[in-house]
Amino acid sequence: MNRRSGFTLIELIIYMAIFGVSAVFLVSILTSVTRTQVRQASGNEVNQQLSFVSNTIQRLVRSASQVSNEAGVASTTLVLRMASSTVDPTYIYVDASSTAIYLQEATSTPIRLTDDKVTVANFSVTKQEPAGGLAVVHVDLTLEYNTTSDQSKASRAWSGAIARISAATFDSGIFPNSSAALDLGSASLQWRDAFFSNSVTIGTNGELGVGGSPSTNPTTKIYITNGDVGFSSSTYGVLLMSPGGTCFRLTVTNSGALATSTQTCPN
């Protein structure tokens, strides 16, 4: 008599239960891993684009001749004046729908700095002008992964202050907003040297201070009045060099006669 061996009903139920629990456990692990990979991929995408935009802004601000934004006013457009006319002015801005950040150099076609994989949650630039220093641009930037899936959502923010480090270069005239009302430098913040290739005009009744305090008490003053040049002290005069290389100071006596005295020639 042959006897057939096999699983009993109870053993089969137990095996099915073990298999079902294992399957649920494995599916749960797989789902968790997939969610992590998807979220990491979206986060990496946002990080890369955020890094590219921030590095571009920093590079352009540091090489700019001037930051044209109004100081202390937040804006969604950064305006930079550049030394080269081919890229002047340079604009970095977010479009009206907040879908992308653009770079436009002079009149060239705007270039997208971010693609359609991300959206711009925040882009704000504010220029600060510290006393005695170069302009500083404070940037707040937030990018989000462009998706409707909760599992793929990712957001990254960057905030930084960027100082302009290059000297200003201008390709046009520099004019005050009103005549005879503004100064160039001050008693505490003075320019050192000035170089001009043509004439310098000082008005009808101007004066030049020589030595001492430039604001209140120069050692002597050189007056320019109605086209005449004068000195505020009788000890000063016009220094002339003879053909032989000797320098003489030309002054006037109390009777109006011209007098000369030997002087060391200036370097």
Ordered by start, the domain boundaries in the chain are: 10-163, 206-232, 237-267
> For the sheet containing 155-163, what is the strand order?
118-128, 136-145, 155-163
Q: What is the pLDDT of residues 37-52, one digit of tens each?
A: 667 888 889 999 999 9
Please tell me the least confidently modeled range out of 117-131, 150-164, 197-211.
Answer: 197-211
Answer yes or no: are the C-beta atoms of 94 and 110 closer than 8 Å: no
DSSP state of 265: P
* Mean pLDDT comparison of 26-30, 35-39, 151-155, highest-scoring range: 151-155
Mean pLDDT value across residues 106-130: 92
Q: Encode 26-63: b = buried (16+ Cβ within 10 Å), e = exposed.
A: eeeeeeeeeeeebbeebbebbeebbeebbeebeebbeb
Residue 15 has pLDDT above 80, yes or no: no
Q: What is the pLDDT of residues 53-87, one digit of tens each?
A: 999 999 999 888 888 999 899 999 999 998 888 89
Q: How confident is the prediction for the chain on average, in pLDDT?
A: 81
Mean pLDDT value across residues 141-149: 90
- pLDDT recorded at residue 52: 94
For residues 185 and 149, the model is more confident at: 149
The pLDDT > 90 percentage for the chain reads 28
Q: Encode 194-223: b = buried (16+ Cβ within 10 Å), e = exposed.
A: eeeeeeeeeeeeeeebeeeeeeeebeebbe
Q: What is the pLDDT of residues 170-218, one digit of tens each?
A: 656 777 777 777 777 777 777 778 888 877 777 666 666 665 544 455 5
Picking from 45, 80, 106, 70, the residue whose alpha carbon sits closest to that of residue 169 is 80
Answer yes or no: are the C-beta atoms of 216 and 226 closer than 8 Å: no
Calculate the CA 54 to chain-centre distance: 12
Residue 223 has pLDDT above 80, yes or no: no
Do the bridges between strand 111-112 and strand 101-105 make them parallel or antiparallel, or are there none, so unpaired?
A: antiparallel
* Mean pLDDT comparison of 17-31, 183-197, 242-256, highest-scoring range: 242-256
DSSP H or E stretch at residue 58? helix 9-63
Answer yes or no: are the C-beta atoms of 93 and 43 closer than 8 Å: no
Answer yes or no: are the C-beta atoms of 100 and 114 closer than 8 Å: yes
- pLDDT recorded at residue 205: 62
CA distance 258 to 263: 16
Residues 6+ apart with CB under 8 A from 221: 207, 208, 209, 210, 231, 232
CA distance 144 to 47: 10
- pLDDT recorded at residue 180: 76
* Confidence (pTM): 0.56
DSSP H or E stretch at residue 241? strand 238-241
Mean pLDDT value across residues 98-118: 92
